[in-house]
Structure 1
Amino acid sequence: MRALFDLTAAYEPTPEQRRDAVPPVEAVLFDFSNTLFHMVDTADWLRSVGRATGREVPSEATADDLAMAAARPDVAAAQHGRDLSDDAHRAAMRAWFAQVPVLHGVEDTAIDLLRAPDAWVPYPDTADVLQALADRGVRVGVVSDIGWDIRVHARAAGVEHLVGTWVLSCELGVEKPDPTMFTTACTALDVDPRATLMVGDNPARDGGAVAVGCRAFLLPSEFRLGERGLGAVLALLG
């Protein structure tokens, strides 16, 4: 009868685990984009492209062009699997930026500036929460669908030392919700998935952690500049 009601899981708890109390959280895994860090304002990025290329890059008009280009079927199709490798991400971004008149011909410069150390910044509460977890002895990992090495942004923000492991789709060759993303992080942190909390903003991707036995906490999927609400993670841990 269980097969009629249970969700498909990538793990099978033992009979003892089914009866025992839920273990306390010993590790927290965080999504990166729009959970711990966010990209700088699009206008700021476009200004940096203009300075680097010597082109006039009107931010409002270019932002509109970016949105229209993203809606093209060929551009949308090119984004599938873009976070599986560095090369795949570059190809996807080139396909997009090539359809934006002012970025045509300088696609690689735009991509490099999108990945610049200061192009992604932490939310105001990111460092405090990561430090609080470290002070409690809670292990921390980042599990991200991303096309480049985002450690550079954490290093620039001075928080890289607070993360024990980085599991990136571009390095592993799979994306969330593939169980490998979560189990790889748990193994690296030497923690039982059942004693691990995944924090993100995408139910389909980040919520996939429950299939390996993790708990999950989902933030509202909204773009923010102020605090992200990460303090709730500390409250969940008690």
Structure 2
Amino acid sequence: MTTNPIDAVLFDFSGTLFRLEQDETWLDGLTDVHGDPLDIEAQAELMRRMTAPVGQVVELSDEYLHAWHHRDLDPDLHRKVYLEVLRRSGVPRVEQAKALYDRLVDPEQWTPYPDTEAALKAAAGRGLTVGVLSNIAFDIRPAFGQRGLDAYVDEFVLSYEVGAIKPQPEIFHTALDRLGVAAEHTLMVGDSEEADGGARAVGCAFALVEPLPTTERPDALLAALRDHGVLDPTG
């Protein structure tokens, strides 16, 4: 429970408000180096590697390692390194890797969690300032706009636009400045203790949610808001 009153909530994007979840057509015809279809386990691992918020997911050369560490600051580096990640993850055909990458960076392909709208609407409806703070190399605003969720978001702070990534304090300070709120009255909600939890270092409260499939996480966002006094216990 947060001791200071909360005036603003910052939400992470991937694994927090939205999740990249493939439908059954995504991997149709996808084959490994031997020309065999990828099995279910391989498909699941591929999706994990495409969306992992932190940590190096495959062995990379120095050239690609630099791109990996800077991927959320530069769209070109993001594309370069993820095509290499896909290649090293068993997708050797360039055209297949490019097709998968295009889905990764298409905001329309991302699925909101069941309580995303309710959480954003509840926070905004109580007069709180709401921001989305994401380590990302493409514009996620259309994912919100096409569902009318942008009406509840005051600011989008995206790493590739501001030149800093979580957990660097600079990106949190940028978000707080844009929202016009003090850190001690701000709650950060995210799925990564390492990245999103960096909000604690600048004085924010932090709530961790698990990046589970959307069907397995119906109300974690609302629970986080309740736990920190943003919503009533029965709200």
Give TM-score scaled by structure 2 length.
0.77
Q: Aligned match of 1:147 in 137, 150, 155?
A: 137
CA deviations on 1:71-110 (whole Å, 9 max, x unpaired) are 6412783533221211111111121233434642343332
Q: Does 1:80 align with 2:69?
A: yes
Unaligned runs of 5+ in 1: 1-21, 51-55
RMSD: 3.0
Q: Which residue of 1 aligns with 2:127?
A: 137
Q: Aligned match of 2:148 in 130, 155, 158?
A: 158
Deviation, 1:34, is: 0.8
Please show how residues 62-73 of structure 1 align to structure 2 within 5 Å. Answer: 63=43, 66=46, 72-73=58-59
Q: Aligned equivalents of 1:153 and 1:208: distance in 2? A: 25
Instruction: Kindly indicate whether the alpha-carbon contact (under 8 Å) linking 2:16 and 2:211 is maintained by their aligned counterparts in 1.
Output: no
Q: Does 1:207 align with 2:197?
A: yes
Instruction: Kindly indicate whether the alpha-carbon contact (under 8 Å) linking 1:28 and 1:199 is maintained by their aligned counterparts in 2.
Output: yes
Q: Aligned equivalents of 2:125 and 2:193: distance in 1? A: 29
Deviation, 1:137, is: 0.6
Which amino acid in the other structure matches residue 233 of structure 1? A
Q: Which residue of 1 aligns with 2:13?
A: 32
Aligned residues: 211
Give TM-score scaled by structure 1 length.
0.76
For residues 64 and 145 of structure 1, do their structure 2 counterparts lie closer, same or farther at Cα, with a shift above 3 Å needed? closer
The structure with the largest alpha-carbon Rg is: 1
Q: Does 1:114 align with 2:104?
A: yes
Q: Aligned match of 2:39 in 60, 68, 81?
A: 60
Q: Which residue of 2 aligns with 1:95?
A: 84
Q: Aligned match of 1:176 in 158, 166, 171?
A: 166
Q: Which residue of 1 aligns with 2:188?
A: 198
Which amino acid in the other structure matches residue 43 of structure 2? A
Which deviates more, 71-80 or 149-158? Answer: 71-80
Give the secondary-structure state (helix, strand or coil) at the position aligned to 2:220. coil
For residues 219 and 113 of structure 1, do their structure 2 counterparts lie closer, same or farther at Cα, with a shift above 3 Å needed? closer
Deviation, 1:230, is: 1.0
Q: Aligned equivalents of 1:58 and 1:40: distance in 2? A: 19
Q: Aligned equivalents of 1:156 and 1:186: distance in 2? A: 26
Please show how residues 216-235 of structure 1 align to structure 2 within 5 Å. Answer: 216-225=206-215, 226-235=217-226
Which amino acid in the other structure matches residue 91 of structure 1? K
Deviation, 1:234, is: 3.2
Q: Aligned equivalents of 2:102 and 2:96: distance in 1? A: 10
Unaligned runs of 5+ in 2: 50-55
Deviation, 1:204, is: 1.4
Deviation, 1:171, is: 1.4
Q: Aligned equivalents of 1:71 and 1:23: distance in 2? A: 38
